Structure 1
Amino acid sequence: MEFAEKLAALAAKVRQQRGAIETEEATKNAFVMPFISTILGYDVFNPLEVVPEFVADVGLKKGEKVDYAIVKDGVIQILIECKKSTEPVKIEHASQLFRYFSVTNARIAILTNGEVYQFFTDLDAPNRMDAKPFLVLDLNDIDESLIPELQKLSKDVFDLDSIISAAGELKYIGELKRTLAAQFKEPEDEWVKFLTGRVYSGAYTQKVREQFTALVAKASKQFLNDQVNERLKKALGAPSFPQNYDVEAAAAITSEPIVDADLANADGIVTTLEEIEGYQIVRAIVCSEVKPSRVAQRDAKSYFAVLLDDNNRKPIARLHFNRTQKYLGVFDDNKEETRVPINSLEEIYEHTEALRASVKSYL
């Protein structure tokens, strides 16, 4: 399995199990240890590679522990501090990391709640951990541009010098991207004033500020949607992805066999962003059984099909999203479809076993 595929599989596991994780210890066992073993490639049961509850007394602080120390070539390279997944990751949780960073050879420190991983080094002062991470990995929203840098920390291709040299750029690019994302979501006054000055020549009064605050927020959302739509159009060869669209009424909610003709008739089909997102979720779930490249999508008038090997006789799922009530179609061993109502895309994860069982039946 490729590195990116392993990340996607772990992300699917996190989304599926997060509701059952309530303690820090459960977070370590369910999420963090699989990250260390599957993603970074270290043997969590080998104390020569992974040292749990690592102790290095610092000054008057005796007996304090860091959750994990990762050893490479006999030297401690990475320190990891964990918090339970129900808590947000905050720099205030990193007190042990700050102290241990200065008394070990580690150049990388990781603070995590099992879902978000913040990576730190010592860019600002030698042997002193920075207050801000140079890389942030969110398994709920993986930034694919960070995957090559993250892979440099894995056991097989460990390249500390390379990642340290790139850390400065990664740190500021990451901060800029998060700042832009925050401004797009809820623009601050300075951001609104800056953009208003580019398009409006009048006085920047209170009334103008209020008017353009709403306009900037609306324009930002439309701009992001335009960018996403353009990428999807290029990827799928579709002519457009309008936000408002008309579709024909769907069939009655019953179990039904595969109908090949439905997939063959592509006239008047409009693929939506929501269908693409649903396809990506199904793909992430079943990549535990097959390579993601084998999971294909094909849109029809009344549903969006997810197929194995792009073969309409190997259905994995159908997304019936062209209606007010959405349905996920899952298949049994006889390729009979059963539609189950869902209210959000996240509910697809509740049917992980059924989706994987469909794939296994074709292997």
Structure 2
Amino acid sequence: MAAFHDQFLKLAEQIRRRLPHVHGEESTKQALILPFIGALGYDIYDPTEIRPEYVADFAKKRPGGPAEKVDYAIHLGGTPVIFVECKSADVALHNFSGQLARYFNATPACPVAVLTNGVKYMFFTDLEEKNILGEKPFFEFDVLSFTEADVEVLETFSRERFNPGGVREQAEEIIYTSKISGYMGSILRNPPESFTRFVLGELSVFAGKRLTPRVIEKFTPTIKRAIQATLLDMATRSIKDQAEPRAEAPVPAAPPKLEVPTVAPPQPVIKIDEKL
């Protein structure tokens, strides 16, 4: 995940530099959107994988004009799995696109549709009704403003990890996690009376005692400070764990050397001639 995150940090800097010079939809595609698709691991030069100006079999011609096209259809195993509709970088995105919906609704094999202006990416699927594109995105990614959690979700759409069959479950998980996180965040920032009453009721020191409005009012600031201290401690521990180098496996000690006694060579025997 770290390598994937670093890759998008670099992409963000690249897009930030290019953005002032991008004008029009075609420039947006070439300078911003194709690099994004490439960063997800798809081969933007392989026409069997990335099909620009994709015309589906069901596409009908506009009155007096050519057939409707989707800007990019990302294929895996010969099947379209992500439709991408592009807008110019200077166009504010709306939550819904009729053209994108028509393509999605008529292509049951494609589970994801993306609407983008090269900076913001809106991911849609059929959460409310099967094979009918939802009007609200289940996930949004801003290339110039994202968190590690955003990148973690985005990575599930990469070529290496994308599972077309699990998109509905994933979309539900993303939505529920977002809603629960928002709810928990509001509680932790400003604990309501019900939460304070619950916490005090769980503490043995208040067992059997009546939790009057006065007691609740008295201990609400205390609980708020305790929450802040706990969150700070958790963040500090997390940073410390990331900063500390992993303990290396101990190097096995070398076997002790055997001290071999040094044996002195035998001294030569000098014979003395007694006749001398």
Number of the residue aligned with 1:147 = 151
SS of alignment partner, residue 160 of structure 2? helix
- In structure 2, do the counterparts of structure 1 residues 235 and 123 end up closer, same or farther at CA, with 3 Å as the change threshold? closer
Number of the residue aligned with 2:43 = 43
| Between 143-152 and 164-173, the greater mean CA deviation after superposition | 143-152
| Between 94-103 and 82-91, the greater mean CA deviation after superposition | 82-91
Number of the residue aligned with 1:73 = 77
Number of the residue aligned with 1:260 = none
1:143, distance to aligned residue in structure 2 (A): 2.8
Which structure has the larger Rg? 2
d(CA) in 2 for partners of 1:226, 1:84:
46
SS of alignment partner, residue 102 of structure 2? helix
Q: 1:138 aligns with which of 134, 137, 142?
A: 142
Instruction: State the Cα deviation string for residues 172-212 of structure 1 (Å, max 9, x = none).
Output: 3335667999x89xxxxxxx9x969999x8xxxxxxxxxxx
- Kindly indicate whether the alpha-carbon contact (under 8 Å) linking 1:117 and 1:138 is maintained by their aligned counterparts in 2: yes
Amino acid of the structure 1 residue aligned with 2:29:
K
Q: 2:175 aligns with which of 166, 171, 175?
A: 171
Instruction: State the Cα deviation string for residues 72-115 of structure 1 (Å, max 9, x = none).
Output: 101111100111222222124x2211000012221110111111
Instruction: State the Cα deviation string for residues 205-239 of structure 1 (Å, max 9, x = none).
Output: xxxxxxxxxxxxxxxxx9xx9899667654666xx
- Kindly indicate whether the alpha-carbon contact (under 8 Å) linking 2:60 and 2:68 is maintained by their aligned counterparts in 1: no
For residues 342-357 of structure 1, the aligned pairs below 5 Å read none
Number of the residue aligned with 1:33 = 34
d(CA) in 2 for partners of 1:14, 1:227:
38
The alignment status of 1:84 with 2:85, answered yes or no, reads no
Number of the residue aligned with 1:331 = none
Identity score, percent: 31
Number of the residue aligned with 2:53 = 53
Amino acid of the structure 2 residue aligned with 1:133:
P
Number of the residue aligned with 2:99 = 96
- In structure 2, do the counterparts of structure 1 residues 44 and 118 end up closer, same or farther at CA, with 3 Å as the change threshold? same
- In structure 2, do the counterparts of structure 1 residues 228 and 15 end up closer, same or farther at CA, with 3 Å as the change threshold? farther
- In structure 2, do the counterparts of structure 1 residues 176 and 96 end up closer, same or farther at CA, with 3 Å as the change threshold? farther
1:18, distance to aligned residue in structure 2 (A): 1.8
SS of alignment partner, residue 43 of structure 1? coil
Structure 1 unaligned residues grouped into runs of 5+ = 185-191, 202-221, 238-292, 297-363
Q: Which has the higher strand share?
A: 1
- Kindly indicate whether the alpha-carbon contact (under 8 Å) linking 1:120 and 1:132 is maintained by their aligned counterparts in 2: yes
Instruction: State the Cα deviation string for residues 139-192 of structure 1 (Å, max 9, x = none).
Output: 2221322433322322233322234322112123335667999x89xxxxxxx9
- Kindly indicate whether the alpha-carbon contact (under 8 Å) linking 1:134 and 1:174 is maintained by their aligned counterparts in 2: no
d(CA) in 1 for partners of 2:71, 2:117:
12
- Kindly indicate whether the alpha-carbon contact (under 8 Å) linking 1:53 and 1:66 is maintained by their aligned counterparts in 2: yes
Number of the residue aligned with 1:327 = none
Amino acid of the structure 2 residue aligned with 1:95:
G
What RMSD, in angstroms, separates the aligned Cα atoms of the two structures? 3.7
Return the TM-score normalized by structure 2.
Answer: 0.63
Amino acid of the structure 2 residue aligned with 1:52:
P
Number of the residue aligned with 1:21 = 22
1:119, distance to aligned residue in structure 2 (A): 0.9
- Kindly indicate whether the alpha-carbon contact (under 8 Å) linking 1:152 and 1:163 is maintained by their aligned counterparts in 2: no
d(CA) in 1 for partners of 2:79, 2:125:
16
